[in-house]
Chain A
Amino acid sequence: MSTEENIVIRTEKLVKSFGENHVLKGFDLELNKGENLVVLGKSGSGKSVLIKCMVGLLYPDSGLVSVFGKEIPKLTQLELDELRTKIGFLFQSSALYDSMTVRENLEFPLRRHWMHKTKDEVNELVMEALKNVGLERAVDLMPSELSGGMRKRIGLARTLILKPEIMLYDEPTTGLDPITGREISNLIVAIQEKYHTSSIIITHDMECAKIVANRIMILIDGFKYTVGTYDELVKSDDPKIKPFFA
């Protein structure tokens, strides 16, 4: 199924340590075009580190990370910036810019393309992105005036505004109530269908995994432990897999 040109992100034998703390010890991953891949793993197992390596926020000690066939550590700053416009990254903490309104937050990723766009076009893009997450009324609020779930959704709108081909979601539903969490999960599926994005979703939330995942990958002790569909893994008797689905 996964022929070479179908793979948008690939990591091979990815190793990353912080001093004595060996986080990733040789992680292999392939993300196919148009799929939602869920990565499961215990807190502190290095899931955030993994996707930060994919956008060049962290550099691996050894091993390969390539996105659209380009090796991230070998790119120049300019090439990296160019590539990053095709990747949306939803931060675990939402990472909204505190000093800017919601509108300015959404306009920020467009800055690189500003000279090509009129004010009306920018406004239209902002409103469309907000409509996608159902928060048009929040356009003039400051991030401090938003609830946790709203922040997540605004963060999502901000990453969607450039219509990225790849989305990396870092725990999109953590800290939300089950209803809002389900809304976000449905949104992730809707985004996949609407924009044909390929996504990696990091989560502990099994309901979210069940809704969004085409495949699930389990990260244990710095290695890929196993990969499969939700239905395959939920039936597994493996003592290391069972706790995730308990």
Chain B
Amino acid sequence: MSKQSRRSEFLSEVGNISAFTGKFFREGFKPRYEWSELFRQCYIIGYESFPLVGITAFIMGLVLTVQSRPTLEEFGAASYLPAMVAVSIVREIGPVITALICAGKIGSSIGAELGSMRVTEQIDAMEVSGTNPFKYLVVTRVIACTMMLPILVVLADGIGLYASYIGVNLKGIVSWNLYTTQVFESLTFSDVMPALVKTYFFGFAIGIIGCYKGYFSNKGTEGVGIAANSAVVVSSLMIFVIDLIAVQIADILGLT
């Protein structure tokens, strides 16, 4: 493929995703709302990703603590360990790792599900039965992702911090009271808020891209695989792009 056509393909993809997002906002606020499907999706997305997110957060918290100790000890700052770990988990590691795991798990499953519904004409069947498939399938999934990701991130942060408490106590003794005091003293509004706000955007990006890839998947079983795969690739990339933009905005607003 020539450079030219690859560039125009990239641009048309960006255009299509923007149009798809625009349609989400147009359709999403018109009644009738698909409440029961929304709750079902929230349950699926939240509940089914939680074990994976929890295990990863636990390991990350533990590993981060154990690995940071030698460096801090070198500077005679081992007592700052809880504070340092808390800030890194809450500001960056919790949101980004959780979002990446969800991009892998939720993004691919949405891409594959909608892709196979497209291929087997189930989306067409919804359309001819007078139900708006965009509303029923896309709007509910995108909203569910947007709402559930921040909750998953908060849970992951909590689990990560608890794991870090265990990590701190592997060598040396810090009581739970002292640990929590140190953690909460180190965390400020400007650590928590921007981190929380960006997770909504992470969730939205995972939902929109998974749905877009599935909804417009190509005919054939091959198309389903491609939809699932590219949903993961593109939404993971989007997470880093959003992270980059978020850090700039937080910087401009003085939330550092």
Contact = CB atoms under 8 A, between A and B. Distances in A.
Interface residues of B, number: 15
B170 interface: no
B130 A84 contact: yes
B121 A91 contact: yes
Interface in A37-87: 52, 55, 57, 77, 81-82, 84-85, 87
Contact of B129 (A77, A82, A84, A98): A84
A97 B124 contact: no
A52 B124 CA distance: 9
A55 B132 CA distance: 14
B16 interface: no
B31 to A, nearest CB: 12
Interface stretch (A108-116, A120-128, A130-138, A210-218): A108-116
B122 A96 contact: yes
B126 A108 contact: yes
A84 B117 CA distance: 20
A98 B125 contact: no
Interface of A: 52, 55, 57, 77, 81-82, 84-85, 87, 89, 91-93, 95-99, 108-109, 111-112, 158, 162
27 contacts: A55-B128, A57-B124, A57-B127, A77-B132, A82-B130, A85-B129, A87-B128, A89-B125, A89-B128, A91-B124, A91-B125, A92-B121, A93-B121, A95-B121, A95-B122, A96-B122, A97-B117, A97-B125, A97-B126, A98-B116, A98-B122, A109-B129, A109-B130, A109-B131, A112-B130, A112-B131, A158-B129
Interface of B: 113, 116-117, 120-122, 124-132
Complex A-B, nearest 5 residue pairs according to Cβ-Cβ distance, in ascending order: A95-B125, A109-B129, A95-B121, A81-B130, A89-B128
